[in-house]
């Protein structure tokens, strides 16, 4: 049965079993939530481990629609019951709505940057190679901080491992598109492409787990299949290098145990007790959308499967670990106006988080779930509860033509809402297509080259040590400082939560005594 169709059945259940959602019912719901809230206490343990999840392009409407798509209006995705929630302002230095690279620089490095740059500060403009070289203009990431503290590190993505979101974790540059040498201007020889920085430089060469797509960025010769073609939206390596072989040679020279895997069968055969480094490159470009991903032996793993594999290796560290997980194809689907694909990718993102929660101890592990930016998806009224979220909302009171519950404010040519009929511009009737199909493009109000990012705030959810620091509307660059403070790494490596606590108690007692003394006078 198609996933979205299950929603209708889910919301027939209250009727079938006689649940009456009257005032008594909603009082009971509220009292249970109140009881849960009153019983919660802040966790001020030092965070031994950190897992940061980034749903690329996962706006609040995406979350709501995906929740309904998965299990209905009154359900929750994996992170939606986390005790601490805030908002992040996503603008960057020169744009109201950011791209993924600049937003990820804020999320991972604590510094807002200029549009399309990564791992650098505002002194570096787009394409300014010269300005990106000095260390004063480069910024360290939470990967640097964690490694300096002796923690194992890793990242998992459904995009290319050299793509915009993961790049700021380990690379510095003036253009997110410089993933391999063929995408760079010939004259910019002082700059190193993102793929080489991952394999050759610190902290990239010391990252214990790297998993995602992007084989065509790492080696010149690649094989193609129907399910794994060349990504024609991106460049490909042309210099004869094989950076995967270089990665292996580096690990051999350091006498480190390692494994390289490139399909499901190889991933399933890993002996996790015997390796410390894992490089999983499962596609030439991005890993395919989940609805058409090849899950056979020669195919690609899901985000959940990659995340579980990463945790099995990283959890072996006595000093703890830091793992970053990106659900990158949520954004990819939105850009093409394919709402059904975006919702399924969000559900799979939730599956990865659910699996993680079953493998970690929340008393010592800080888990953060957020997004880098919003998107132009809109959740429209006025469909009935229990309706297919990918279906029709109602007829327009203006042109009498139906419209879908989900649409886009901007979109590509496939999202064009109007056609010419009898020399008049008429909005297309979505009932003439199956709007629930993965390949259906929801109508958009404004047609550009593709659906664009939004500039709205994104939600941030947190669980575990010092999760309560995320509690209001924050600048996006606040997130890595929460990670650093909770784990005592990076700028807070020499601080002590115990000493801070006693300092606060001392100050509090002093103020009480001062007040008593002042009142007595």
Instruction: Determine which of 3-12, 199-208, 214-223, 256-265 has the lowest per-residue pLDDT on average.
Output: 3-12
- The two counts, helices (H) then strands (E), for the chain are 16, 19
> Would the pLDDT of 275 be above 80?
yes
Dihedral angle computed from the Cα positions of residues 218, 221, 222 and 224, in that order, rounded to the nearest 10 degrees: 150
The 321-327 sheet, strands edge to edge: 258-261, 277-281, 209-213, 152-160, 321-327, 49-55, 365-370, 458-463, 84-89, 473-475
How far apart CA 209 and CA 139 sit, in angstroms, is 22
The predicted pLDDT at position 19 comes to 73
73 is in an annotated binding site: no
Read off the pLDDT of residues 276-314 as tens digits, 9 standing for 90 and up.
Answer: 999 999 999 999 999 999 999 999 999 999 999 999 999
Residue 11, pLDDT score: 41
Q: Tell me the sheet residues that pair with 475.
A: 89
| Res. 319: pLDDT tops 80 | yes
Pairwise CA distance, residues 219 & 239, whole Å: 9
Beta strands in 140-205 (DSSP E): 152-160
Q: Which CATH architecture has domain 40-376+452-488?
A: 3-Layer(aba) Sandwich (3.40)
User: Is a pLDDT exceeding 60 seen at residue 508?
Assistant: no
474 labeled part of a ligand binding site: no
Q: What is the mean pLDDT of residues 453-460?
A: 98
Say if residue 163 carries a ligand binding annotation: yes
- The residues spanned by each domain of the chain are 40-376+452-488, 392-447
Mean pLDDT of all residues in the chain?
93
Q: Can you tell me the distance from the alpha carbon of 14 to that of 12, in angstroms, rounded to the nearest whole number?
A: 6
Nearest alpha carbon to residue 7 among 340, 387, 349: 387
| Cα–Cα distance for residue pair 195/62, rounded to 1 Å | 31
Q: Assess whether 59 carries a catalytic annotation.
A: no
| Whole-model pTM over 0.95 | no
pLDDT band at 486 (very low <50, low <70, confident <90, very high): very high
The answer to whether 331 is annotated as binding is: yes
In the set 59, 66, 100, 141, the catalytic residue is 100
The Cα–Cα gap between 364 and 372 comes to 25
Mean pLDDT of 351-370: 98
pLDDT at 482: 98
Residues of the chain above pLDDT 70, percent: 92
| More confident position, 145 or 36 | 145
For residue 520, pLDDT beyond 90: no
- pLDDT band for 235, please (50, 70, 90 cuts): very high
Query: What is the torsional sign of CA 249, 251, 254, 257?
Result: negative
What's the mean pLDDT in 29-51? Answer: 95
E strands along 179-250, which residues? Answer: 209-213
């Amino acid at each position: 049965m198609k996933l979205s169709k299950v929603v209708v059945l889910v919301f027939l259940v209250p009727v079938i079993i006689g649940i009456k959602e009257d005032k008594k019912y909603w009082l009971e719901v509220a009292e249970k939530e109140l009881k849960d809230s009153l019983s919660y206490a802040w966790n001020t343990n030092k965070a031994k481990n950190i897992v940061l999840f980034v749903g690329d392009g996962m706006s609040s409407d995406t979350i709501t629609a995906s929740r309904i798509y998965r299990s209905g209006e009154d359900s929750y995705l994996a992170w939606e019951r986390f005790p601490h929630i805030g908002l992040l302002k996503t603008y960057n230095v020169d744009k109201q709505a950011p791209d993924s690279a600049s937003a990820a620089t804020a999320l991972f490095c604590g510094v807002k940057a200029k549009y399309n740059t990564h791992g650098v500060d505002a002194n570096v403009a787009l394409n300014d190679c010269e300005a990106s070289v000095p260390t004063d203009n480069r910024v360290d990431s939470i990967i640097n901080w964690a490694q300096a503290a002796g923690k194992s590190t890793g990242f998992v993505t459904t995009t290319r491992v050299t793509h915009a979101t993961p790049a700021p974790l380990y690379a510095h540059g003036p253009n997110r598109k410089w993933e391999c040498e063929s995408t760079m201007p010939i004259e910019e020889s002082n700059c190193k492409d993102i793929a080489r920085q991952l394999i050759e430089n610190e902290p990239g060469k010391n990252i214990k787990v790297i998993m995602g797509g992007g084989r065509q960025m790492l080696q010149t010769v690649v094989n193609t299949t129907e399910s794994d073609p060349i990504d024609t939206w991106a460049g490909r390596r042309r210099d004869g290098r094989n950076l995967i072989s270089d990665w292996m040679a580096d690990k051999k020279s350091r006498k480190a145990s390692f494994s390289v895997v490139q399909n499901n069968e190889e991933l399933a055969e890993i002996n996790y007790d015997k390796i410390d480094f894992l490089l999983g490159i499962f596609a030439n470009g991005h890993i395919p959308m989940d609805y058409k991903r090849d899950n056979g032996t020669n195919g690609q793993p899901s985000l959940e499967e990659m995340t579980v594999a990463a945790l099995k290796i990283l959890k072996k560290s006595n000093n703890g670990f830091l793992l970053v997980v990106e659900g990158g194809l949520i954004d990819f689907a939105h850009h093409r106006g394919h709402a059904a694909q975006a919702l399924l990718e969000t559900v799979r993102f939730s599956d990865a988080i659910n699996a993680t929660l079953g493998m970690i101890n929340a008393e010592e592990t800080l888990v953060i779930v957020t997004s880098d930016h919003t998107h132009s998806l809109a959740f429209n009224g006025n469909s009935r509860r229990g309706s297919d979220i990918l279906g029709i909302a109602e007829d327009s009171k203006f042109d009498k033509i139906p419209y879908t519950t989900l649409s886009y404010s901007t979109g590509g040519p496939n999202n064009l809402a109007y056609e010419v009929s009898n020399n008049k511009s008429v909005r297309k009737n979505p009932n003439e297509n199956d709007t629930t199909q993965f390949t259906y493009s929801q109508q958009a109000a404004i047609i550009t080259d593709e659906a664009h990012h939004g500039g709205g705030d994104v939600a941030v959810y947190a669980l575990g040590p010092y999760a309560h620091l995320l509690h209001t509307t924050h600048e996006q660059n606040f997130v890595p400082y929460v990670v650093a403070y909770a784990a005592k790494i990076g700028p807070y490596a020499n601080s002590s939560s115990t000493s801070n606590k006693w300092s606060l108690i001392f100050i509090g007692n002093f103020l009480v005594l001062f007040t008593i003394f002042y009142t007595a006078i």
